[in-house]
Structure 1
């Protein structure tokens, strides 16, 4: 543990960077232009990572690589962990902080991509697109009935960058917007003609509920049986942030009961799903699922690479590396 606290002089000649997930070419090209040594192993397995991480000062990951306590303990030389993404869910930030390892990432880089996917899933839920596509692909051309979103009320849980952008688009579609967050977002809400409300107000008044929160994997659900009971019959729920924000077993119950018209999500409790109740949800005709593609656009991946690279280079300079 002490190795991470040593005041070791870093320079381009002795600095080693390991990249363990696929990354936009921009980052690799820019770091090499700066004269930095890179080992690009986008398919490295965990066992191999645990063996070699001790040889590196910088670890760059995306979502696939889990930088937990064991990895950090093995990384005796680590000075910086960079996540090419908008959050740090797959990094043990507490352990990194203990060892004075800097953690950098790219907040906001995929806001547009995530917001657009949210709107797409909301439309899919409102128009029963999953059922319609399934019928068509099986050779059955049967009309399915949905609902219009114009004039409906959308409640946004988590009014940060993505929630704000979703609200902006929803307003342009003619929807009324309610916003809830653990911090005061009344001024931000007013900017787009939305109204800040309590969680209870949101779940009782909304026709559509869209979730945009950052919570730990062990966090308690925000939407539980209590909230589901308070919702309107026929509510549409969209989740493009964290599966654990919803009590999955309770969700399944209320979908089967008919209280929830549609659940459209980009995130699942296990990816791929493995629990029996997860598999039942996955197969339900009123559940639309995408495979965690919120940030998977060419534009977002490029912005993520640019922002992460800039933050990494800035951090290295702060640590005394002359670039």
Structure 2
């Protein structure tokens, strides 16, 4: 019987599935108790984390007998992949399990930001009638969605967007233009610069690497279609947050939805103060009741397989 350490929240039926076969310590608060986490890690044969647990440095060194790290999500920038490989630790992400949740977030925020009318409840309830000011919103049908990154989440987003009548184009530095995924999704491959220049909505779906850090900087944002909407559900470091704020204030960007930030949780900061048509959410695009069940079940199954 192996010992499994779960340091962040996991769907309880999936935890029970693990407990049927192995000894399990499940404590979603463990991520915030570094000394205890290191102590428990030394006795773990498997570790299950989300995005906050940093599997590197002291924690990686403490995993003396660990065989597998299960990641309840898809981003792996919180895990030292070469370090895990050197220690013979398999890293198992929940690829695809939260794709629909992220795709729905992208489409929903795109519609909200384009229309620009859904924050009037307090004004209308208070007796105001801002009909003229809210009568020039934009429809999503016929608009062009530009996907930067065309993996499973990007492809799922494309399917939903096309169902709403959007034209979808995509750029992925890791894919050739003749990759069958483009044709199968009825998506046109484009270079990054032409995508930014032509898309009414730009949605980011790339991992955070040295090559993608501040991929959307001031210069690239200036190259976007005036009035376009930017959505980031990937990683915060992929965009220059201050450049986004400046572009919103100038009108170069017509709206932005940011679910991820360079430093999380986002500190109280002035650079987003008074930005028009801005949505900020706390890294929850991939988190729904349904996706948590899918992600947790998939990782439980994969961890059990790895421990056989």
Q: Would you say the 8 A contact 1:87–1:106 is kept in 2?
A: no
Matched, 1:292 2:279: no
Q: Would you say the 8 A contact 1:204–1:231 is kept in 2?
A: yes
Moved over 4 A (4+): 133-141
Partner of 1:105: 93
Alignment of 1:96-175 (within 5 A): 96-129=84-117, 131-133=119-121, 135-136=123-124, 140-143=128-131, 144=134, 145-175=136-166
- Between stretches 166-175 and 283-292, larger displacement belongs to 283-292
Match of 2:184 among 191, 204, 215: 191
Aligned residues: 301
Deviation at 1:221, TM superposition (A): 1.7
* Aligned alpha-carbon RMSD (Å): 2.1
Partner of 1:178: 169
- After superposition, the C-alpha distances for 1:220-249 in whole angstroms (9 at most, x for unaligned) are 222222222222211111111122211222
Match of 1:231 among 224, 241, 254: 224
Give the TM-score, by structure 1 length. Answer: 0.86
For residues 93 and 199 of structure 2, what CA distance do their matches in structure 1 show?
Answer: 33
Deviation at 1:31, TM superposition (A): 1.6
Give the TM-score, by structure 2 length. Answer: 0.90
For residues 209 and 221 of structure 1, what CA distance do their matches in structure 2 show?
Answer: 15
For residues 94 and 136 of structure 1, what CA distance do their matches in structure 2 show?
Answer: 55
Which structure 1 segments of 5+ residues have no match? 1-11, 318-323
Alignment of 1:1-323 (within 5 A): 12=1, 15-34=2-21, 36-44=22-30, 45-129=33-117, 131-133=119-121, 135-136=123-124, 140-143=128-131, 144=134, 145-182=136-173, 183-186=175-178, 187-216=180-209, 219-274=212-267, 276=269, 279-281=270-272, 283-317=274-308
1:24 to 1:90, Cα distance in 2 relative to 1, 3 A:
same
For residues 164 and 93 of structure 2, what CA distance do their matches in structure 1 show?
Answer: 32
Q: Secondary structure at the match of 1:55?
A: coil
1:179 to 1:218, Cα distance in 2 relative to 1, 3 A:
closer
Deviation at 1:72, TM superposition (A): 0.9
Q: Secondary structure at the match of 1:86?
A: coil
Partner of 1:321: none
Give the number of the structure whose alpha-carbon radius of gyration is greater.
Answer: 1
